[in-house]
Amino acid sequence: MAGTKDEAMGGMKQGIGKMTGDEALEAEGTTQKKSGRAKRRTAGAAHEVKGNVKKAAGKVLDSPTLKAEGEADKARGKVERS
């Protein structure tokens, strides 16, 4: 998932910075963590939109496969955004 690595690394830097009293490292970690979270949530929103489009197209074209793919993409997006 997009941003997950940055979010985790930022959290570690933030924690190490707090433990050692290194304010610069803590701030860097906070920034990296928030940036990673934003990337992850943005990717999740994009997957939800893609899922909604596929689901609607599946209804119009009467394609159960396309509707199911849309539901799966939408669910993936919700998970990424949480």
* pLDDT band at residue 80 using 50, 70 and 90 as cut-offs: confident
Burial classification of residue 82, based on how many CB atoms lie within 10 Å of its CB (0-12 exposed, 13-18 middle, 19 or more buried): exposed
Domains of the chain: total: 1
Burial classification of residue 20, based on how many CB atoms lie within 10 Å of its CB (0-12 exposed, 13-18 middle, 19 or more buried): exposed
Whole-prediction pTM value?
A: 0.71
Domain encompassing residue 34: 4-81
pLDDT of residue 81 exceeding 90: no
Highest-scoring range by mean pLDDT, 21-30, 54-63, 73-82:
21-30
Q: What is the pLDDT of residue 1?
A: 63
pLDDT of residue 48 exceeding 70: yes
Return the DSSP state at 63.
-
Count of CB atoms situated within 10 Å of the CB of 73:
20
**Which stretches of the chain are assigned E, i.e. beta strand?**
none
